[in-house]
Amino acid sequence: MKTFYIETFGCQMNAHDSEKVVGTLLQEGYTQVDRPDQAELVLYNTCSIRDKAEQKVFSRLQQFKREAGKGKVFGVLGCVAQQEGERIFERAPHVSLVAGSASYTKLPDLLVQLEAGNRRVTGLSLDTNETFDTPYTRRDNPHRAYITIIEGCDKSCAYCVVPFTRGPERSRTSESVLREAASLAELGYTEIQLLGQNVNSYRDPSPAGWDFARLLDETGKTPGIRRVRFTTSHPRDFVKGIVEAIDGNSALCNHVHLPVQSGSTSVLSRMQRLYTRDDYMRRIEWMKNARRSIAITTDIIVGFPGETEQDFKETVRLAEEVEYDSMFIFKYSKRPNTPALEYEDHIPEEEKTRRLMILQELQRAIQIRRNAAYVGTIEEAHVEGYNTATGQWIGRTAQNKTLNFIDAELPGPAEGRTLTGTYADILVTRAGPNSLAGEHIASTMNNGPGRAV
Ligand code: SAH
Ligand code: SF4
Ligand code: F3S
Protein backbone atom coordinates (compact mmCIF):
# COMPACT_ATOMS: atom_id res chain seq x y z
CA MET A 1 0.00 0.00 0.00
CA LYS A 2 1.95 3.01 -1.17
CA THR A 3 -0.33 5.27 -3.17
CA PHE A 4 -2.83 7.66 -1.60
CA TYR A 5 -5.61 10.02 -2.60
CA ILE A 6 -6.95 12.77 -0.35
CA GLU A 7 -10.04 14.93 -0.70
CA THR A 8 -10.56 17.88 1.62
CA PHE A 9 -13.81 19.48 2.79
CA GLY A 10 -14.43 22.48 5.04
CA CYS A 11 -12.45 25.51 6.09
CA GLN A 12 -8.90 26.71 5.53
CA MET A 13 -7.79 25.01 8.75
CA ASN A 14 -8.75 21.71 7.15
CA ALA A 15 -7.04 22.66 3.89
CA HIS A 16 -3.86 23.37 5.83
CA ASP A 17 -4.24 20.17 7.87
CA SER A 18 -4.37 18.23 4.60
CA GLU A 19 -1.09 19.88 3.59
CA LYS A 20 0.40 18.49 6.80
CA VAL A 21 -1.07 15.02 6.15
CA VAL A 22 0.21 14.98 2.55
CA GLY A 23 3.69 16.04 3.71
CA THR A 24 3.76 13.29 6.31
CA LEU A 25 2.60 10.60 3.85
CA LEU A 26 5.20 11.63 1.25
CA GLN A 27 7.84 11.46 3.97
CA GLU A 28 6.64 7.93 4.79
CA GLY A 29 7.25 6.85 1.20
CA TYR A 30 3.73 7.18 -0.20
CA THR A 31 2.94 8.64 -3.62
CA GLN A 32 -0.02 10.97 -4.14
CA VAL A 33 -2.45 10.21 -6.98
CA ASP A 34 -5.21 12.39 -8.43
CA ARG A 35 -8.09 9.91 -8.46
CA PRO A 36 -9.53 7.71 -5.74
CA ASP A 37 -9.79 4.71 -8.07
CA GLN A 38 -6.00 4.78 -8.55
CA ALA A 39 -5.19 4.86 -4.84
CA GLU A 40 -4.54 2.12 -2.33
CA LEU A 41 -5.20 4.50 0.56
CA VAL A 42 -8.22 6.81 0.14
CA LEU A 43 -8.52 9.63 2.68
CA TYR A 44 -11.33 12.10 3.27
CA ASN A 45 -10.50 15.11 5.46
CA THR A 46 -13.98 15.99 6.59
CA CYS A 47 -16.07 18.92 7.81
CA SER A 48 -19.02 18.72 10.14
CA ILE A 49 -20.08 22.35 10.42
CA ARG A 50 -23.46 21.74 8.74
CA ASP A 51 -25.39 18.54 8.13
CA LYS A 52 -24.82 18.70 4.36
CA ALA A 53 -21.06 18.72 4.79
CA GLU A 54 -21.26 15.66 7.03
CA GLN A 55 -23.53 13.79 4.59
CA LYS A 56 -21.10 14.44 1.74
CA VAL A 57 -18.42 12.21 3.20
CA PHE A 58 -20.79 9.32 3.78
CA SER A 59 -21.99 9.52 0.18
CA ARG A 60 -18.35 9.60 -1.01
CA LEU A 61 -17.64 6.52 1.08
CA GLN A 62 -20.48 4.66 -0.66
CA GLN A 63 -18.87 5.17 -4.09
CA PHE A 64 -15.97 2.78 -3.71
CA LYS A 65 -17.41 0.51 -1.05
CA ARG A 66 -17.10 -2.59 -3.20
CA GLU A 67 -13.37 -2.07 -3.65
CA ALA A 68 -12.66 -2.27 0.07
CA GLY A 69 -10.86 -5.48 0.89
CA LYS A 70 -9.45 -5.65 -2.64
CA GLY A 71 -6.33 -3.86 -1.49
CA LYS A 72 -8.06 -0.51 -0.99
CA VAL A 73 -8.04 1.07 2.46
CA PHE A 74 -10.32 3.95 3.54
CA GLY A 75 -9.63 6.62 6.15
CA VAL A 76 -11.79 9.39 7.57
CA LEU A 77 -9.91 12.37 9.00
CA GLY A 78 -10.92 15.74 10.43
CA CYS A 79 -14.05 17.02 12.10
CA VAL A 80 -16.53 14.23 11.26
CA ALA A 81 -13.90 11.72 12.43
CA GLN A 82 -13.52 13.52 15.75
CA GLN A 83 -17.27 13.99 16.17
CA GLU A 84 -18.42 10.49 15.24
CA GLY A 85 -15.35 8.54 16.42
CA GLU A 86 -15.77 4.78 16.32
CA ARG A 87 -19.41 5.15 15.22
CA ILE A 88 -17.96 5.67 11.73
CA PHE A 89 -16.98 2.00 11.67
CA GLU A 90 -20.67 1.16 12.15
CA ARG A 91 -21.96 3.63 9.59
CA ALA A 92 -19.32 2.67 7.01
CA PRO A 93 -17.83 -0.72 7.96
CA HIS A 94 -15.26 -0.63 5.17
CA VAL A 95 -13.44 2.30 6.81
CA SER A 96 -10.19 1.29 8.56
CA LEU A 97 -8.81 4.59 9.85
CA VAL A 98 -10.58 7.30 11.86
CA ALA A 99 -8.42 10.20 13.07
CA GLY A 100 -9.12 13.75 14.28
CA SER A 101 -6.96 16.81 13.66
CA ALA A 102 -5.08 16.56 16.96
CA SER A 103 -3.72 13.15 15.94
CA TYR A 104 -1.91 13.97 12.72
CA THR A 105 1.50 13.97 14.40
CA LYS A 106 0.77 10.31 15.21
CA LEU A 107 -0.01 9.51 11.59
CA PRO A 108 3.22 7.54 10.91
CA ASP A 109 2.28 5.22 13.79
CA LEU A 110 -1.28 4.84 12.58
CA LEU A 111 0.02 3.99 9.09
CA VAL A 112 2.24 1.25 10.48
CA GLN A 113 -0.84 -0.28 12.13
CA LEU A 114 -2.78 -0.04 8.85
CA GLU A 115 0.04 -1.59 6.86
CA ALA A 116 0.15 -4.45 9.37
CA GLY A 117 -3.43 -5.19 8.28
CA ASN A 118 -5.19 -3.74 11.31
CA ARG A 119 -8.79 -3.01 10.26
CA ARG A 120 -9.79 -0.59 13.04
CA VAL A 121 -7.20 2.12 13.62
CA THR A 122 -8.11 5.29 15.52
CA GLY A 123 -6.49 8.56 16.60
CA LEU A 124 -9.11 10.42 18.55
CA SER A 125 -7.51 11.96 21.61
CA LEU A 126 -7.79 15.75 21.72
CA ASP A 127 -4.25 16.03 22.99
CA THR A 128 -3.85 19.65 24.02
CA ASN A 129 -0.03 19.41 23.98
CA GLU A 130 -0.14 18.92 20.24
CA THR A 131 2.74 20.74 18.64
CA PHE A 132 2.26 23.06 15.69
CA ASP A 133 5.61 22.38 14.13
CA THR A 134 5.03 20.84 10.75
CA PRO A 135 8.37 19.74 9.34
CA TYR A 136 6.82 17.82 6.46
CA THR A 137 4.06 20.17 5.35
CA ARG A 138 3.57 19.96 1.59
CA ARG A 139 2.01 23.30 0.64
CA ASP A 140 -0.31 23.45 -2.36
CA ASN A 141 0.48 27.03 -3.32
CA PRO A 142 4.12 28.13 -3.90
CA HIS A 143 3.41 31.80 -3.17
CA ARG A 144 0.83 31.95 -0.39
CA ALA A 145 1.23 29.88 2.78
CA TYR A 146 -1.00 29.14 5.73
CA ILE A 147 0.33 29.23 9.28
CA THR A 148 -1.85 27.93 12.12
CA ILE A 149 -1.33 30.15 15.18
CA ILE A 150 -4.15 28.88 17.37
CA GLU A 151 -6.04 25.59 17.38
CA GLY A 152 -9.47 24.75 18.81
CA CYS A 153 -12.18 26.95 20.29
CA ASP A 154 -13.08 27.89 23.87
CA LYS A 155 -16.34 29.63 22.99
CA SER A 156 -19.57 27.71 23.08
CA CYS A 157 -21.93 29.08 20.46
CA ALA A 158 -25.21 27.22 20.81
CA TYR A 159 -25.26 25.96 17.20
CA CYS A 160 -21.63 24.96 16.67
CA VAL A 161 -19.71 21.67 16.66
CA VAL A 162 -16.21 23.13 16.46
CA PRO A 163 -15.46 23.06 20.22
CA PHE A 164 -16.18 19.29 20.09
CA THR A 165 -14.37 18.58 16.84
CA ARG A 166 -11.27 20.70 17.43
CA GLY A 167 -11.02 20.71 21.21
CA PRO A 168 -9.96 23.53 23.53
CA GLU A 169 -7.94 26.56 22.45
CA ARG A 170 -4.17 26.14 22.23
CA SER A 171 -1.95 29.01 21.01
CA ARG A 172 1.48 28.55 19.57
CA THR A 173 4.49 30.57 20.77
CA SER A 174 5.14 33.83 18.93
CA GLU A 175 8.73 32.76 18.42
CA SER A 176 7.72 29.61 16.53
CA VAL A 177 5.20 31.53 14.39
CA LEU A 178 7.83 34.10 13.41
CA ARG A 179 10.37 31.36 12.75
CA GLU A 180 7.96 29.64 10.36
CA ALA A 181 7.16 32.97 8.65
CA ALA A 182 10.87 33.68 8.14
CA SER A 183 11.56 30.21 6.74
CA LEU A 184 8.60 30.54 4.35
CA ALA A 185 9.97 33.89 3.14
CA GLU A 186 13.30 32.21 2.50
CA LEU A 187 11.54 29.59 0.39
CA GLY A 188 10.10 32.38 -1.77
CA TYR A 189 6.62 32.76 -0.27
CA THR A 190 5.47 36.39 -0.23
CA GLU A 191 2.00 36.03 1.29
CA ILE A 192 1.08 34.48 4.63
CA GLN A 193 -2.32 33.70 6.04
CA LEU A 194 -2.52 33.31 9.81
CA LEU A 195 -5.17 30.76 10.73
CA GLY A 196 -7.32 30.00 13.73
CA GLN A 197 -10.99 29.23 14.35
CA ASN A 198 -10.81 32.44 16.37
CA VAL A 199 -7.49 33.78 15.20
CA ASN A 200 -7.70 36.92 17.31
CA SER A 201 -8.20 34.98 20.55
CA TYR A 202 -4.48 34.23 20.20
CA ARG A 203 -2.46 34.50 23.41
CA ASP A 204 1.28 33.88 23.26
CA PRO A 205 2.01 31.10 25.79
CA SER A 206 5.67 32.17 26.10
CA PRO A 207 6.85 34.85 28.58
CA ALA A 208 6.67 37.49 25.79
CA GLY A 209 2.87 37.18 26.18
CA TRP A 210 1.99 38.87 22.90
CA ASP A 211 -1.61 39.42 21.95
CA PHE A 212 -2.87 38.88 18.40
CA ALA A 213 -2.38 42.49 17.24
CA ARG A 214 1.32 42.35 18.23
CA LEU A 215 1.87 38.99 16.55
CA LEU A 216 0.15 40.23 13.39
CA ASP A 217 2.28 43.37 13.27
CA GLU A 218 5.54 41.47 13.85
CA THR A 219 4.63 38.85 11.20
CA GLY A 220 4.09 41.73 8.79
CA LYS A 221 7.68 42.87 9.42
CA THR A 222 9.17 39.59 8.17
CA PRO A 223 11.62 40.49 5.38
CA GLY A 224 10.31 39.23 2.04
CA ILE A 225 6.69 38.92 3.18
CA ARG A 226 4.51 41.39 1.32
CA ARG A 227 1.07 40.40 2.49
CA VAL A 228 -0.30 38.98 5.73
CA ARG A 229 -3.93 37.88 5.98
CA PHE A 230 -5.72 36.41 8.96
CA THR A 231 -8.93 34.50 9.50
CA THR A 232 -11.35 34.11 11.31
CA SER A 233 -11.78 36.97 13.78
CA HIS A 234 -14.31 36.65 16.60
CA PRO A 235 -16.09 39.94 17.40
CA ARG A 236 -15.78 39.46 21.15
CA ASP A 237 -11.95 39.42 20.97
CA PHE A 238 -11.67 42.02 18.21
CA VAL A 239 -9.80 44.93 19.80
CA LYS A 240 -8.93 48.35 18.42
CA GLY A 241 -5.25 47.39 18.39
CA ILE A 242 -5.90 45.16 15.37
CA VAL A 243 -7.22 48.12 13.36
CA GLU A 244 -4.25 50.22 14.55
CA ALA A 245 -1.85 47.48 13.44
CA ILE A 246 -3.44 47.41 9.97
CA ASP A 247 -3.26 51.19 9.76
CA GLY A 248 0.40 51.19 10.76
CA ASN A 249 1.77 48.34 8.66
CA SER A 250 1.09 48.22 4.93
CA ALA A 251 2.08 44.52 4.72
CA LEU A 252 -1.07 43.68 6.67
CA CYS A 253 -3.98 43.15 4.31
CA ASN A 254 -6.79 45.66 4.73
CA HIS A 255 -9.46 43.00 4.98
CA VAL A 256 -11.24 41.69 8.07
CA HIS A 257 -13.64 38.75 8.13
CA LEU A 258 -15.82 39.38 11.17
CA PRO A 259 -18.77 36.96 11.38
CA VAL A 260 -21.80 38.64 12.91
CA GLN A 261 -24.24 35.68 12.61
CA SER A 262 -27.27 37.87 13.41
CA GLY A 263 -28.20 41.55 13.71
CA SER A 264 -30.58 40.88 16.58
CA THR A 265 -29.22 41.15 20.13
CA SER A 266 -31.81 38.70 21.39
CA VAL A 267 -30.78 36.07 18.81
CA LEU A 268 -27.09 36.76 19.53
CA SER A 269 -27.75 36.16 23.18
CA ARG A 270 -29.52 32.85 22.52
CA MET A 271 -26.64 31.92 20.20
CA GLN A 272 -24.27 32.60 23.14
CA ARG A 273 -22.14 34.82 20.93
CA LEU A 274 -20.96 36.99 23.87
CA TYR A 275 -21.61 40.35 22.16
CA THR A 276 -24.58 42.57 21.36
CA ARG A 277 -25.48 44.26 18.10
CA ASP A 278 -24.07 47.54 19.52
CA ASP A 279 -20.78 45.89 20.54
CA TYR A 280 -20.45 44.57 17.01
CA MET A 281 -21.31 47.90 15.37
CA ARG A 282 -18.65 49.65 17.50
CA ARG A 283 -16.03 47.36 15.94
CA ILE A 284 -17.37 48.14 12.48
CA GLU A 285 -17.01 51.82 13.28
CA TRP A 286 -13.34 51.41 14.26
CA MET A 287 -12.74 49.88 10.85
CA LYS A 288 -14.76 52.48 8.94
CA ASN A 289 -12.82 55.24 10.72
CA ALA A 290 -9.43 53.68 9.94
CA ARG A 291 -6.94 55.56 7.76
CA ARG A 292 -6.78 52.68 5.28
CA SER A 293 -9.90 51.47 3.55
CA ILE A 294 -10.64 48.13 5.19
CA ALA A 295 -12.80 45.57 3.36
CA ILE A 296 -15.21 43.88 5.75
CA THR A 297 -16.80 40.47 5.17
CA THR A 298 -19.03 38.34 7.37
CA ASP A 299 -20.96 35.12 8.01
CA ILE A 300 -24.68 35.10 8.77
CA ILE A 301 -26.94 32.29 9.97
CA VAL A 302 -30.61 32.63 9.01
CA GLY A 303 -33.41 30.72 10.68
CA PHE A 304 -31.76 30.13 14.05
CA PRO A 305 -34.40 28.58 16.39
CA GLY A 306 -36.79 31.29 17.55
CA GLU A 307 -35.62 33.89 15.00
CA THR A 308 -38.71 36.07 14.44
CA GLU A 309 -39.48 38.18 11.39
CA GLN A 310 -38.49 41.19 13.51
CA ASP A 311 -35.12 39.57 14.40
CA PHE A 312 -34.50 38.83 10.74
CA LYS A 313 -35.33 42.42 9.76
CA GLU A 314 -32.67 43.59 12.21
CA THR A 315 -30.15 41.42 10.39
CA VAL A 316 -31.26 42.93 7.08
CA ARG A 317 -30.89 46.43 8.54
CA LEU A 318 -27.44 45.62 9.86
CA ALA A 319 -26.37 44.36 6.43
CA GLU A 320 -27.66 47.62 4.89
CA GLU A 321 -25.81 49.68 7.45
CA VAL A 322 -22.46 47.89 7.26
CA GLU A 323 -22.47 47.35 3.48
CA TYR A 324 -20.19 44.33 3.57
CA ASP A 325 -17.77 43.62 0.74
CA SER A 326 -18.91 40.01 0.80
CA MET A 327 -21.09 37.76 2.91
CA PHE A 328 -21.52 34.02 3.48
CA ILE A 329 -25.12 33.24 4.39
CA PHE A 330 -26.03 29.87 5.90
CA LYS A 331 -29.33 28.29 6.82
CA TYR A 332 -29.20 27.12 10.44
CA SER A 333 -28.42 23.41 10.50
CA LYS A 334 -29.08 21.15 13.52
CA ARG A 335 -25.84 19.71 14.86
CA PRO A 336 -25.28 16.85 17.30
CA ASN A 337 -24.49 17.66 20.95
CA THR A 338 -25.19 21.39 20.57
CA PRO A 339 -27.55 23.26 22.95
CA ALA A 340 -29.60 24.83 20.12
CA LEU A 341 -30.94 21.36 19.26
CA GLU A 342 -33.09 21.56 22.38
CA TYR A 343 -34.34 25.07 21.64
CA GLU A 344 -37.98 25.58 20.74
CA ASP A 345 -39.42 27.13 17.60
CA HIS A 346 -37.26 25.61 14.93
CA ILE A 347 -37.84 27.49 11.68
CA PRO A 348 -39.30 25.62 8.68
CA GLU A 349 -36.87 24.99 5.82
CA GLU A 350 -38.89 27.09 3.30
CA GLU A 351 -38.79 30.06 5.64
CA LYS A 352 -35.01 29.71 6.07
CA THR A 353 -34.71 29.64 2.27
CA ARG A 354 -36.88 32.75 1.93
CA ARG A 355 -34.73 34.67 4.42
CA LEU A 356 -31.54 33.48 2.76
CA MET A 357 -32.74 34.69 -0.63
CA ILE A 358 -33.78 38.11 0.66
CA LEU A 359 -30.33 38.63 2.15
CA GLN A 360 -28.58 37.30 -0.94
CA GLU A 361 -30.42 39.71 -3.19
CA LEU A 362 -29.69 42.67 -0.93
CA GLN A 363 -26.02 41.71 -0.70
CA ARG A 364 -25.70 41.32 -4.46
CA ALA A 365 -26.94 44.87 -4.98
CA ILE A 366 -24.52 46.16 -2.33
CA GLN A 367 -21.58 44.36 -3.96
CA ILE A 368 -22.44 45.70 -7.41
CA ARG A 369 -22.49 49.22 -5.97
CA ARG A 370 -19.33 48.84 -3.88
CA ASN A 371 -17.30 47.16 -6.61
CA ALA A 372 -18.34 49.79 -9.20
CA ALA A 373 -16.53 52.40 -7.09
CA TYR A 374 -13.19 50.72 -7.97
CA VAL A 375 -13.53 51.39 -11.70
CA GLY A 376 -10.84 53.88 -12.73
CA THR A 377 -8.59 53.16 -9.72
CA ILE A 378 -5.28 51.27 -9.69
CA GLU A 379 -5.19 48.17 -7.53
CA GLU A 380 -2.30 45.84 -6.76
CA ALA A 381 -3.03 42.20 -7.59
CA HIS A 382 -1.10 39.21 -6.34
CA VAL A 383 -1.28 37.02 -9.44
CA GLU A 384 -2.62 33.52 -8.77
CA GLY A 385 -2.78 32.00 -12.23
CA TYR A 386 -4.17 32.20 -15.73
CA ASN A 387 -7.63 31.30 -16.96
CA THR A 388 -7.38 29.84 -20.46
CA ALA A 389 -11.17 29.93 -20.91
CA THR A 390 -11.40 33.72 -20.45
CA GLY A 391 -7.87 34.60 -21.57
CA GLN A 392 -7.32 36.55 -18.37
CA TRP A 393 -4.79 36.43 -15.58
CA ILE A 394 -6.35 35.85 -12.15
CA GLY A 395 -5.30 38.03 -9.26
CA ARG A 396 -6.37 39.02 -5.77
CA THR A 397 -6.21 42.43 -4.14
CA ALA A 398 -5.10 43.02 -0.55
CA GLN A 399 -8.80 43.53 0.23
CA ASN A 400 -9.33 39.93 -0.96
CA LYS A 401 -11.23 40.89 -4.11
CA THR A 402 -10.75 38.80 -7.24
CA LEU A 403 -9.16 40.99 -9.92
CA ASN A 404 -8.91 39.41 -13.38
CA PHE A 405 -6.84 41.25 -15.96
CA ILE A 406 -5.24 41.23 -19.36
CA ASP A 407 -1.62 41.99 -20.10
CA ALA A 408 -0.65 43.42 -23.50
CA GLU A 409 2.95 42.17 -23.32
CA LEU A 410 2.24 38.75 -21.88
CA PRO A 411 -1.27 37.71 -22.97
CA GLY A 412 -0.73 34.29 -21.39
CA PRO A 413 2.00 32.07 -19.95
CA ALA A 414 4.62 31.47 -22.66
CA GLU A 415 8.08 29.94 -22.93
CA GLY A 416 8.53 29.69 -19.19
CA ARG A 417 7.36 33.26 -18.69
CA THR A 418 4.51 33.81 -16.29
CA LEU A 419 3.02 36.49 -14.08
CA THR A 420 1.86 33.95 -11.50
CA GLY A 421 3.33 34.76 -8.10
CA THR A 422 4.14 38.37 -8.99
CA TYR A 423 2.46 41.58 -7.88
CA ALA A 424 0.98 43.66 -10.66
CA ASP A 425 -0.59 47.12 -10.76
CA ILE A 426 -3.92 46.90 -12.51
CA LEU A 427 -6.13 49.68 -13.84
CA VAL A 428 -9.65 48.55 -12.97
CA THR A 429 -11.92 48.95 -15.99
CA ARG A 430 -14.97 46.84 -15.11
CA ALA A 431 -16.73 45.56 -12.00
CA GLY A 432 -19.32 42.89 -11.29
CA PRO A 433 -20.95 41.69 -8.07
CA ASN A 434 -18.19 39.16 -7.36
CA SER A 435 -15.06 40.43 -9.06
CA LEU A 436 -13.18 43.28 -10.71
CA ALA A 437 -11.50 43.27 -14.11
CA GLY A 438 -8.77 45.42 -15.61
CA GLU A 439 -5.52 45.92 -17.48
CA HIS A 440 -1.99 45.44 -16.31
CA ILE A 441 -0.15 48.77 -16.31
CA ALA A 442 3.09 47.95 -14.46
CA SER A 443 4.79 45.24 -12.47
CA THR A 444 5.92 46.35 -9.05
CA MET A 445 9.25 45.67 -7.39
CA ASN A 446 10.44 42.51 -5.68
CA ASN A 447 8.81 39.82 -7.68
CA GLY A 448 10.76 37.17 -5.88
CA PRO A 449 13.99 35.44 -6.63
CA GLY A 450 14.27 33.43 -9.81
CA ARG A 451 10.88 34.38 -11.19
CA ALA A 452 10.97 35.38 -14.83
CA VAL A 453 8.55 38.16 -15.68
N1 SAH B 1 -15.11 30.70 14.60
C2 SAH B 1 -15.79 31.46 13.64
C3 SAH B 1 -16.63 30.66 12.68
C4 SAH B 1 -16.35 29.26 12.38
S5 SAH B 1 -17.55 28.27 11.59
C6 SAH B 1 -16.69 32.43 14.37
O7 SAH B 1 -17.07 32.19 15.49
O8 SAH B 1 -17.05 33.42 13.80
C9 SAH B 1 -17.88 29.13 10.07
C10 SAH B 1 -19.30 29.60 9.93
O11 SAH B 1 -20.19 28.52 9.80
C12 SAH B 1 -19.84 30.36 11.12
O13 SAH B 1 -19.44 31.70 11.13
C14 SAH B 1 -21.33 30.21 10.98
O15 SAH B 1 -21.88 31.27 10.25
C16 SAH B 1 -21.48 28.91 10.21
N17 SAH B 1 -22.06 27.85 11.06
C18 SAH B 1 -21.52 27.27 12.13
N19 SAH B 1 -22.36 26.36 12.66
C20 SAH B 1 -23.47 26.37 11.89
C21 SAH B 1 -24.73 25.67 11.92
N22 SAH B 1 -25.01 24.76 12.87
N23 SAH B 1 -25.64 25.94 10.95
C24 SAH B 1 -25.38 26.87 10.01
N25 SAH B 1 -24.25 27.55 9.93
C26 SAH B 1 -23.29 27.32 10.86
FE1 SF4 C 1 -18.05 27.78 16.58
FE2 SF4 C 1 -18.59 29.87 18.05
FE3 SF4 C 1 -16.22 28.65 18.29
FE4 SF4 C 1 -16.83 30.08 16.11
S5 SF4 C 1 -16.62 30.87 18.21
S6 SF4 C 1 -15.88 28.07 16.17
S7 SF4 C 1 -18.98 29.69 15.84
S8 SF4 C 1 -18.20 27.81 18.86
FE1 F3S D 1 -15.66 22.30 9.16
FE2 F3S D 1 -14.09 21.51 11.07
FE3 F3S D 1 -13.48 23.63 9.67
S4 F3S D 1 -16.27 21.49 11.13
S5 F3S D 1 -15.46 24.46 9.11
S6 F3S D 1 -13.59 21.60 8.90
S7 F3S D 1 -13.13 23.32 11.84
Q: How far is CA 345 from CA 51, 54, 158, 274, 330, in A?
A: 19, 24, 15, 22, 18
47 C-alpha vs ligand 3 centroid, how far in Å?
5
Give kind and range of the element (H or E) at residue 438: strand 436-443
- The dihedrals phi and psi of 51, each to the nearest 5 degrees, come to -55, -40
Domain CATH for 175: 3.80.30.20
Residue 305 domain boundaries: 144-369
**What mean pLDDT, rounded, does the chain reach?**
94
Residue 435 lies in a domain: yes
pLDDT recorded at residue 286:
98
Assign 141 to helix, strand or coil: coil
Residue 45 CB partners (closer than 8 Å, separation 6+): 6, 7, 8, 9, 10, 14, 17, 18, 21, 77, 78
The pLDDT of residue 66: 78
**pLDDT of 403 over the 80 cut:** yes
Helix (H, G, I), strand (E, B) or coil at 370: helix
Q: Of 46, 50, 54, nearest to 13 (Cα)?
A: 46
Q: Is the peptide bond before 298 cis (omega within 30 degrees of 0)?
A: no
Same-domain status, 183 and 302 = yes
**pTM of this prediction?**
0.95
407 with 357, same domain?
no
CATH number of the domain that residue 398 is part of: 2.40.50.140
What is the average per-residue pLDDT within 432-448? 78
Give 53-97 pLDDT, tens digit per residue: 999 999 999 887 777 777 889 999 999 999 999 999 999 999 999
Ligand 3 centroid–CA 166 distance in Å is: 8
Residue 197 CA, closest ligand 1 atom number: 1
Q: Which of 93, 123, 153 is a domain's end point?
A: 123
- The pLDDT score that the predictor gives to residue 63 is 85
Is the same domain home to 108 and 149?
A: no
Q: For a substitution probing ligand 1, which of 330, 342, 352, 353 has the most ligand atoms within 8 Å of its CB?
A: 330
Burial class (CB within 10 angstroms; exposed 0-12, middle 13-18, buried 19+) of 293: exposed
Give a yes or no: residue 176 inside a domain: yes
At 131, the pLDDT band (50, 70, 90 cuts) reads: low
Q: Which of 343, 369, 395 is the last residue of a domain?
A: 369
pLDDT at 65: 79
Q: Is the pLDDT of residue 445 over 90?
A: no
pLDDT at residue 447 in the model:
47
Ligand 3 shell residues, CB under 6 Å = 10-11, 13-14, 47-49, 78-79, 161-162, 165-166
Instruction: Pick 305 or 130 by higher pLDDT.
Output: 305
**Is the model's pLDDT at 453 over the cut of 90?**
no
Q: Residue 129: inside a domain, yes or no? A: no
User: Domain for residue 110, yes or no?
Assistant: yes
> What is the predicted pLDDT for the residue at 136?
82
Final residue in a domain of this structure, among 323, 350, 369: 369
Do 167 and 197 have their domain in common? yes
pLDDT for 1 equals 61
Query: 206 and 111, same structural domain?
Result: no
pLDDT digits (tens, 9 = 90+) for 132-184: 666 788 998 999 999 999 999 999 999 999 999 999 999 999 999 999 999 99
The answer to whether residue 136 is domain-embedded is: no
CA 73 to chain centre: 28
Say whether both 189 and 270 belong to one domain: yes
> 448 C-alpha to center of ligand 2: Å?
37
Does residue 137 fall inside a structural domain?
no
CB burial of residue 376 (10 Å; 0-12, 13-18, 19+): exposed
The answer to whether 314 and 264 have CB atoms below 8 angstroms apart is yes
Q: Are residues 403 and 436 in the same domain?
A: yes
pLDDT at 287 over 70: yes
Cβ atoms 264, 277 nearer than 8 A = yes
Out of 101-115, 224-238, 344-358, 378-392, pick the least confident.
101-115
Provide the CA 415 distance to its chain's centre, in angstroms.
34
Residues 86, 168: one domain?
Answer: no
Identify whether residues 198 and 306 lie together within a single domain.
Answer: yes
The residue whose CA has the least distance to atom 5 of ligand 1 is: 49
Q: Are residues 341 and 266 in the same domain?
A: yes
Same domain for 149 and 220?
yes
132 part of a folded domain: no
Mutational pocket test of ligand 2: of 50, 155, 335, the residue with most ligand atoms within 8 Å of the beta carbon? 155
Question: CA 157, CA 155: separation in Å to the nearest integer?
Answer: 6
The answer to whether residue 238 is domain-embedded is: yes
Q: Whose CA is nearest to atom 3 of ligand 3?
A: 11
pLDDT surpasses 90 at 126? no
CATH code: domain of residue 35: 3.40.50.12160
Is residue 35 over pLDDT 50? yes
Rounded Cα–Cα distance for residues 335 and 314 (Å): 25
For residues 366-393, average pLDDT:
97
**DSSP secondary structure of 262-296:** -S-HHHHHHHT-S--HHHHHHHHHHHHTSSS--EE
pLDDT at 34 over 80: yes
| Same domain (yes/no): 388, 353 | no
Domain count, the chain: 3
Is a pLDDT exceeding 50 seen at residue 17?
A: yes
- pLDDT digit string, tens, across residues 342-379: 999 999 999 999 999 999 999 999 999 999 999 999 99
User: Which atom of ligand 1 lies closest to the CA of 233?
Assistant: 8
